Amino acid sequence: MIMRTLIISLLSIGAIAAPATALAANEPIQPIEAAKPKNADMVELGKMLFFDPRLSKSGFISCNSCHNLSMGGTDNLPTSIGHKWHEGPISAPTVLNSSMNLAQFWDGRAKDLKEQAGGPIANPGEMGFTHELAVDVLRSIPEYRTRFKQLFRSDKIDIGMVTDAIAAFEETLVTPDSRFDKWLKGDKKALNQAELEGYKLFKESGCTGCHNGAAVGGGSFQKFGVHEPYKTTSKAEGRFAVTGKDADRFMFKVPTLRNVELTYPYFHDGAAATLEEAVDTMGRLQLGRTFSKEENAKIVAFLKTLTGKQPEFKLPILPPSTNETPRPKPFG
């Protein structure tokens, strides 16, 4: 009896698993896998750094200020607020699933998360600090010294260790188990009729030409404004800023559409307030196609099924500064 139950269980696991894999393999979008952190202590240190406002000149701004993990990993602003309320030149992308990007930033100027993470600390319009001062702050705090020493077996702390740890934390910021992924894995009831029709439209009209893979984007640079030019007051020129090639003018990294329900407003200038507006613009500019109100609503309904399980963790408790810690300069 026990044996029979076991065999049936094994069979039924197989029965679910087989079509799931088959299904996903035929689709242009693959499910997101849960993070498998290699080094839990490194992830914990990276999380602390991600939340630590002492990596900024003011002592007020942390990575989480602009990539708020309560809010889909972004600030939900057209352009970001930085040091001294500086208005940034471009909209902040989510850090969720950013490990799947072919490169970091809208223009791909950082090759990976580690290279990216040094940027904002020293950017005068973001955290407004220097790498040296940020590292001085960490060095002055015994708990940070201990943690870095345990992980890097060195008595000194350098910015490379800081960005290693932040990147390790960011790699855990994936969002599996969206309703769409459940559907991909074989749960036919996970999507309703409108959502399924939206997905069909998304595939058949050509969106998946650019938005594909597990991240539903993030895999290539593409021109924004294929059929008609995109009108914007933003000065960003995309990939051209990196390569200097005329052909790269207005080529932007295709953003992930995972959790796009949470990452309003849309586009590199944050000009589209709603998902309806973004889908309409994409249809017209990228595909030369004007969606009806019903079609647009179905695509939007599908896109909302891409909201996955948000990373869950305890708010980190940060070790206090000491008398040796350089003090923040918010108004200096």
Q: What are the E-state strand segments in 85-233?
A: 221-223
Indicate the residue among 76 and 220 with the shorter CB distance to Ca ion: 76
**Which of these, 170, 75, 168, 172, lies nearest to 126 by C-alpha position?**
75
DSSP-assigned letter for residue 85: G
Min CB(216)–ligand HEC separation in Å: 9
Reduce the DSSP state of residue 272 to 3 states and report it: strand
Q: Of Ca ion, ligand HEC, its own copies, none, which one sits near residue 99, judging by CB under 5 to 8 A according to partner kind?
A: none
Element spanning 253, H or E: strand 251-253
Q: Of ligand HEC, Ca ion, its own copies, none, which one sits near residue 313, judging by CB under 5 to 8 A according to partner kind?
A: its own copies
Q: Give the contacts of 323 (CB within 8 A, at least 6 positions apart).
A: none
d(CA 292, CA 288) in angstroms, rounded, equals: 13
Q: Are 94 and 256 contacting, i.e. CB atoms less than 8 angstroms apart?
A: yes
Q: Of Ca ion, ligand HEC, its own copies, none, which one sits near residue 166, judging by CB under 5 to 8 A according to partner kind?
A: ligand HEC
Min CB(254)–ligand HEC separation in Å: 5
Min CB(209)–ligand HEC separation in Å: 5
Indicate the residue among 186 and 319 with the shorter CB distance to ligand HEC: 319
Please choose, out of 234-242, 262-270, 278-286, 313-321, the segment that lies near Ca ion by the rule CB under 5 A: 262-270
Q: Of ligand HEC, Ca ion, its own copies, none, which one sits near residue 184, judging by CB under 5 to 8 A according to partner kind?
A: none
Indicate the residue among 121 and 168 with the shorter CB distance to ligand HEC: 121
Q: Of its own copies, ligand HEC, Ca ion, none, which one sits near residue 186, judging by CB under 5 to 8 A according to partner kind?
A: none
Catalytic residue list contains 324: no
Q: Of its own copies, Ca ion, ligand HEC, none, which one sits near residue 95, judging by CB under 5 to 8 A according to partner kind?
A: ligand HEC
Reduce the DSSP state of residue 104 to 3 states and report it: strand
Reduce the DSSP state of residue 63 to 3 states and report it: helix
Maximum Cα–Cα distance across the chain = 76
Angle at 211 between CA 235 and CA 262, to 5 degrees: 75
The DSSP code sequence of 193-230 is HHHHHHHHHHHHTTGGGTS-TTTTS-S-EEES-SSSPP
Min CB(219)–Ca ion separation in Å: 18
Q: Which of 263, 281, 296, 305 binds Ca ion (CB under 5 A)?
A: 263
Residues that bind ligand HEC (CB under 6 A): 61, 63, 65-67, 80, 82, 88, 90, 92-93, 95, 98, 101, 104-106, 113, 116-117, 120-121, 126-127, 166, 202, 205-207, 209-211, 222, 224, 226, 252, 254-255, 257, 260, 263, 266-268, 278-279, 282-283, 286-287, 299
Q: Are 238 and 256 contacting, i.e. CB atoms less than 8 angstroms apart?
A: no
Element spanning 303, H or E: helix 293-304
Min CB(268)–Ca ion separation in Å: 9
Min CB(267)–Ca ion separation in Å: 7
Indicate the residue among 201 and 260 with the shorter CB distance to its own copies: 260
Q: Are 39 and 152 contacting, i.e. CB atoms less than 8 angstroms apart?
A: no
Indicate the residue among 105 and 152 with the shorter CB distance to ligand HEC: 105
Determine which one of 27, 33, 44, 126 is catalytic.
Answer: 126
**Which of these, 186, 223, 208, 225, lies nearest to 302 by C-alpha position?**
208
Catalytic residues: 126
